[in-house]
């Protein structure tokens, strides 16, 4: 899943190792939802919602790919590289 062109307020980018796609990520705006409260970020994708809940770490992303029959998240781990924060690249006024 390459860059999603309608990312809202992206705070960084990383490259997923297995396929080599770049993904932008933002802070999770839905932390009030029970299902999403354990995820700090959202990753912008071309899925139906436009994003998936995730925890973006330095070399690994824990991404919610589905939910089980009881409504609990099914999580995959992706190895990543080239994680960059946009917050550190904002010029000082």
Q: List pLDDT tens digits, range 51-90.
A: 999 999 999 999 999 889 988 899 999 999 999 998 765 5
Q: List pLDDT tens digits, range 38-50.
A: 999 999 987 667 8
Q: Number of H helices and number of E strands within the chain?
A: 0, 6
Give the start-to-end residue ranges of the domains of the chain: 12-87
Round to whole Å and give the CA distance between 26 and 44: 8
Round to whole Å and give the CA distance between 77 and 54: 10
Round to whole Å and give the CA distance between 22 and 24: 7
Q: Give the β-pairing of 41-44 and 73-85.
A: unpaired
Mean pLDDT within 9-33: 90
Does the global pTM surpass 0.85?
Answer: no
Indicate the pLDDT class of residue 1, thresholds 50, 70 and 90: very low
Total Cβ atoms within 10 A of residue 41 = 20
Provide the pLDDT for residue 56: 96
């Amino acid at each position: 899943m390459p860059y999603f062109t309608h990312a809202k307020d992206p705070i960084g980018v990383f490259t997923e190792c297995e396929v080599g796609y770049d993904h932008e990520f933002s802070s999770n705006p839905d932390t009030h939802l029970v299902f999403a409260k354990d995820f700090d970020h959202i990753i912008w994708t071309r899925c139906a919602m436009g994003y998936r809940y995730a925890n973006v770490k330095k070399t690994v992303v824990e991404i919610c790919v589905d939910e089980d029959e009881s409504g609990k998240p099914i999580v995959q781990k992706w190895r990543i590289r080239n994680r960059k924060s946009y917050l550190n690249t904002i010029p000082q006024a």
